[in-house]
Amino acid sequence: MPSLTTAMKYQSGSATDEGVTADMYFLDPDAANVVIAPDPFIMDTEVLFNPDEKETWFFLPGVIGVLIMQIALILTGISVVREREKRTLEQLLVTPMSKPVFIIGKLLPYVIIGLLDFYFILGVGWLLFELPAPSSHALLFVLALLFVSCMIALGLLISLIVKTQQQAMFIAIFIIVPSILLSGFIFPLEAIPASVRAISYAIPFTYFVEIIRGLLIKQTLPVDLLGAYTALAGFTALFVIVSMLKFRRTL
């Protein structure tokens, strides 16, 4: 019987009928369910997403989220507490300003800054590293708006809870590091122990990584990303509502 040629992506070699049956780990090589093809055949692998295996395509979408997360949490996290330390918050509290107006007024400027940063970093990725175009620019904008709003709302919540800028910085770093390690940005979620993986789904950055890689690399259908979009929107609403509840008109 002619030898069977095996052409794998990272290895190649000759596969004989003896070798094939041995590699199948059957106790009995002559078992009826072991079938040897009568004609030679070629076994090969096909990379469906990122076929050139560019590492920049895999990491850059997540790097965009990491930078936005750092900017949003740190800048927003020290906003209210800085005003409290400088005694300028008292001037705001004596005005007839409602909680929603105060929260929106704090969120809106940083949301605009975050969106500009998002597209600036993404533009650099397109220009220097030739990142693929998204399957939908509209969905990409919705992702940017949701994630930026989510991170800024979380940063504002931190600012309303803490007493000093140092505390705000510490909590921001405490959130950023687990987000990078447990979100699937570096390690696949399947490789994370099941006992720890539950924490991954409580991190907004996990859903950002899933969506942006789906839009830029996998060309995922919108219906398959609906759950991740819903989770991001839920986190954003939660952080805004809790921020309103935590806001007090007294120092």
Q: Are residues 26 and 72 in the same domain?
A: no
Q: Which pair of structure tokens corresponds to residue 229?
A: 């979009």
Q: Which pair of structure tokens corresponds to residue 84?
A: 């409290």
Residue range 106-114: mean pLDDT, rounded: 87
Give the pLDDT confidence score for residue 105 in this predicted structure.
81
- Give the integer Cα–Cα distance in Å for 136 and 215: 7
Structural domain contains residue 251: no
Q: Are residues 65 and 162 in the same domain?
A: yes
Q: Which domain holds residue 5?
A: 1-45
- Residue type for position 14: S
Distance of CA 180 to CAs 63, 142, 185, 186, 212, Å? 9, 22, 6, 7, 15
Helices (H) and strands (E) in the chain, counts: 10, 2
Number of domains in the chain: 2
Name the one residue in this structure whose structure tokens are 């850059």. Answer: 60
| Statement: residue 18 has pLDDT above 70 | no
pLDDT band at 228 (very low <50, low <70, confident <90, very high): very high
Q: Are residues 13 and 135 in the same domain?
A: no
Give the pLDDT confidence score for residue 74 in this predicted structure.
86
- Give the integer Cα–Cα distance in Å for 242 and 49: 39
Q: Are residues 23 and 62 in the same domain?
A: no
Residue range 133-160: mean pLDDT, rounded: 91
Locate the DSSP E strands across the chain: 4-7, 12-15
Structure-derived torsion over alpha carbons of residues 57, 60, 65, 69, reported in degrees to the nearest 10: 160
Q: Which pair of structure tokens corresponds to residue 241?
A: 């509502």
Structure-derived torsion over alpha carbons of residues 15, 16, 20, 26, reported in degrees to the nearest 10: -160
Q: Are residues 9 and 76 in the same domain?
A: no
Residue range 215-240: mean pLDDT, rounded: 92
Give the pLDDT confidence score for residue 38 in this predicted structure.
64
pLDDT tens, 33-78? 655 656 666 677 777 777 777 778 888 888 999 999 998 888 888 8
Q: Are residues 228 and 163 in the same domain?
A: yes
